[in-house]
Structure 1
Amino acid sequence: MQTAVLGMGSWGTALARVLANNGHQVNLWGRDQALVDYFNQTQVNAKYLNNCPLPQTVTAMTDMKQAVADSQMILIVVPTKAIRSVCDQLNQVLGQGDATQPLIVHATKGIEVGTHLRVSQMIKASLSVDTYRGLAVLSGPSHAEEVGQDMLTMVTIAAQNLETAQEVQAFFMNPYFRVYTNTDMLGVELGGALKNIIAITSGMIDGLGYGDNSRAALLTRGLAEITRLGVALGADPLTFMGLSGLGDLIVTATSQHSRNYRAGRLLGQGYSIEETRAKINMAIEGLNTCQAAFELAKDLEIEMPITQALYKLLYEGEDVQKLVYSLMTREGKSEAKIEDHLGDE
């Protein structure tokens, strides 16, 4: 089928390859004309995924109207801060009389600062309801660098309507890219966004010279506070034990492929936020998500000590060693249980 991928970063490029390998025609949209031209000459995204050539059935372009024309599915893979502008543009294009009502899928992991909206909520706010026929999210433990090499990967497609999730599942499913369905869209989006906060702190543990014991504790308690916030917002706690929760947390918080992990490592080594952004030179979703999650937890009176500590480091200039000490010397607690909303920290 005809599909469109909006976003020429590493993840958008890798997912375009999956779709093309499954026999779909793919239009890959981006804003950088030089990058588009080079891709169409070589079938390689030289800037973001330069060792993963894509099939000839993928064509890059900067014209969004041309990119989405006759598409049965439109996949949005841009940073959270770009979602509204891209969707506003998409809404204008889809509102110009195209008879095709595509499925809309996003693979972005973040929460909007200020509004605290999830990406699907931002998309709904930007697109007219009569321009598309279903909305879903793709999430899970999936580094673009490995998906681009056809390495075995498992992800989740979540939609409020199971039939929508199953339809999107069929677009992506193949022998190396296994897709599960879920109807807890809230939990899947929160798990994908909040794990980036824990991934940054995991990198900081490495940068500070701590070891495996520290990381294991961080991931375990990090998952506890992710689940606590998710349950308070209405998510199914079991979602956070799945691919879009625990699975995504493990891969993002332990791998050099993860820009959030690498950013945390630099911060732990003493680099400033500005220096860290410059060295990574790609979107670090966890930095903004930390601010949004901190504000959301404060509004809901939810205990998220790891998130709160990272916020103090990033936005209040707190000393990292002092924060580690304050986390380790907090009042003694009982280990939480999921059936008790994970209790208090």
Structure 2
Amino acid sequence: MVGSVLGDNRYTLSNGSIHSSTGAEEKLNDLRHLLGKSDGDLLKIVGIGAGAWGSVFAALLQDAYGKFREKVQIRIWRRPGRSVDRSIAEHLFEVINSREDVLRRLIQRCAYLKYVEGRLGDRTLYADEILRDGFCLNMIDTPLCPLKVVTNLQEAVWDADIVINGLPSTETREVFEEISRYWKERIGAPIIISLAKGIEAALDPLPRIVTPTQMIQCATQIPIENILYLGGPNIASEIYNKEYANARICGAEKWRKHLARFLRQPHFIVWDNSDLVTHEVMGSLKNVYAIGAGMIASLTNESATSKSVYFAHCTSEMIFITHLLAEEPEKLAGPLLADTYVTLLKGRNAWYGQMLAKGELSPDMGDSIKGKGMIQGVSAVGAFYELLRQQSLSILHPDDKKPVAPVELCPILKTLYKILITREAPVQAILQALRDETMNDPRERIEIAQSHAFYRPSLLSKP
């Protein structure tokens, strides 16, 4: 906990707000009661996947509730065997020595020497090993609290009450199919909170989006009312450093309000919403355009004018797409733009676009980047393009007055697809697309969406 002790079980956080450990215990007791936990029966929470957001989420829970050891157990699973590169070990050593609190903690835990040996190259450090000491491989510069790490998936999940999906969407289906084998003998269904921001496109029998919560439900047969999504406009490291942030937990009313209260902290406000799938899809959509924003920023030497032109076009495409996906798209405008804004400012997808434009990375290197983790926007580009190219979704082109697939009115999405997926165009093509003299005014794209009966409920598997 960052801050000073006030007495009476209260703490002042660095942002000036007050946290009460008594209030935390009350929230924990309420959730335990709701789940039918008796005295001596631990509430078991496990995070699956140890990327930046998954690790921070587990650490937030550990900081808030870990002190109540007789009531709750908080653990995180990650795959074993991932070694830490020498360069990362050297940087990690610098981070440790720059933080007196971290240095003292490691010395007290008799864990400092292994980082010295890792720095010297005399020892290989492993990702699960350093996570136990509070270091996420994808977020070395932000030390977390020590975490209870499990590397055996069956051990992690078989009796868990609450499972946090911190996996990329590209890994969610496979891992939860394995988890389902361990849950065959379960009597009661766990609660699952997914943090994943990514989608897949399914084209048969009808074009539709498949979200991580749908993948989980399909893989495990857990009732959909027990599966929720949590997302918001935030950066994982800043949340752990107690920057004020907010998020929404979306899903069935049976659980979402209780979980919103349980997850809420003085610096991390959690609201609740019933629209699970739409919020999940919007979390993926902004990642698509964040990659392009990073490219534009780098290619134009951070030109404010060029970035604003790009923002106008990308937001008009996002608004256009939301009209296809949502019956009341105007309700999504605020959350979508807020999430887009923070991702463009500091997210890994925008960073990835910048690195591509600088030539420090290339699409051929894949979308799993050392030190950053999975770049979710890459697979999302492919999914949205494949979905919106379907002729069954055709709309009338404003100039030619002929039916065209929706993707034909999304030139930025088309260009990103050519750069990242088919790799037939160089990164500079995004700038050429932006400067295309034949490109329509972005306002016209919004007007088209608003003036037509666009909504296709089948795209989100809705009746």
Which TM-score band (shorter chain)? 0.7 to 0.9
Answer whether contact 1:172 1:179 (CA < 8 A) is retained.
Answer: yes
Unaligned runs of 5+ in 1: none
**Cα 1:27–1:322 shift into 2, 3 Å:** closer
Among 164, 169, 184, the residue aligned to 1:75: 164
Measured in 2, the distance between the counterparts of 1:80 and 1:32 equals 20
1:22 is aligned to 64
2:190 matched to 1:102? Answer: yes
Measured in 2, the distance between the counterparts of 1:50 and 1:275 equals 22
SS of the equivalent of 1:75 reads strand
Q: What displacement does 1:101 show? A: 2.2
2:55 matched to 1:13? Answer: yes
Measured in 1, the distance between the counterparts of 2:144 and 2:356 equals 35
- AA aligned to 2:75 is N
2:363 matched to 1:273? Answer: yes
SS of the equivalent of 2:321 reads helix
Among 360, 373, 390, the residue aligned to 1:282: 373
SS of the equivalent of 2:198 reads coil
- AA aligned to 1:129 is I
**Of 5-14 and 261-270, the range deviating more from structure 2:** 261-270
2:353 matched to 1:264? Answer: yes
**Cα 1:38–1:327 shift into 2, 3 Å:** closer
Taking every aligned residue pair, what percent have the same amino acid on both sides? 25
Measured in 2, the distance between the counterparts of 1:294 and 1:280 equals 28
- AA aligned to 2:200 is E
Among 184, 201, 211, the residue aligned to 2:292: 201
Measured in 1, the distance between the counterparts of 2:268 and 2:152 equals 29
SS of the equivalent of 1:157 reads strand
Unaligned runs of 5+ in 2: 1-42, 66-71, 82-125, 204-208, 394-404, 453-463
2:329 matched to 1:237? Answer: yes
Measured in 2, the distance between the counterparts of 1:80 and 1:154 equals 22
Measured in 2, the distance between the counterparts of 1:327 and 1:217 equals 8
Measured in 2, the distance between the counterparts of 1:235 and 1:55 equals 43
Q: Deviations along 1:211-251, whole A, 9 cap, x unmatched?
A: 112222323332222232222123531343233x1111001
- AA aligned to 2:138 is Y
Higher Cα Rg: structure 1 or 2?
2
Q: What displacement does 1:281 show? A: 5.1
Q: What displacement does 1:181 show? A: 1.2
Measured in 1, the distance between the counterparts of 2:451 and 2:389 equals 17
**Of 230-239 and 7-16, the range deviating more from structure 2:** 230-239
1:126 is aligned to 219
Answer whether contact 1:227 1:342 (CA < 8 A) is retained.
Answer: no
Answer whether contact 2:310 2:434 (CA < 8 A) is retained.
Answer: no
SS of the equivalent of 1:190 reads helix
2:99 is aligned to none
Measured in 2, the distance between the counterparts of 1:126 and 1:264 equals 33
- AA aligned to 2:287 is N
Measured in 1, the distance between the counterparts of 2:197 and 2:162 equals 19
1:31 is aligned to 79
TM alignment of 1:83-102, pairs within 5 A: 83-97=172-186, 99-102=187-190
2:387 matched to 1:296? Answer: yes
Q: CA RMSD in A?
A: 2.6
Measured in 2, the distance between the counterparts of 1:36 and 1:332 equals 50
TM alignment of 1:171-186, pairs within 5 A: 171-186=262-277
State the TM-score, normalized to the length of structure 1.
Answer: 0.87
- AA aligned to 1:273 is P
- AA aligned to 2:45 is T
**Cα 1:232–1:282 shift into 2, 3 Å:** same
SS of the equivalent of 2:135 reads coil
Measured in 2, the distance between the counterparts of 1:101 and 1:279 equals 35
Measured in 2, the distance between the counterparts of 1:189 and 1:247 equals 14
1:148 is aligned to 240
2:131 matched to 1:45? Answer: no
Q: What displacement does 1:67 show? A: 1.8
**Cα 1:235–1:183 shift into 2, 3 Å:** farther
- AA aligned to 2:249 is I
2:58 matched to 1:4? Answer: no
Q: What displacement does 1:339 show? A: 8.2
2:417 matched to 1:311? Answer: yes
- AA aligned to 1:111 is I
Measured in 2, the distance between the counterparts of 1:339 and 1:103 equals 41
Measured in 2, the distance between the counterparts of 1:276 and 1:75 equals 26
Measured in 2, the distance between the counterparts of 1:28 and 1:236 equals 37
Q: Deviations along 1:255-285, whole A, 9 cap, x unmatched?
A: 2xx2211110122224421358556652111
- AA aligned to 2:215 is M
**Cα 1:17–1:339 shift into 2, 3 Å:** farther
**Of 272-281 and 15-24, the range deviating more from structure 2:** 272-281
Measured in 1, the distance between the counterparts of 2:253 and 2:444 equals 31
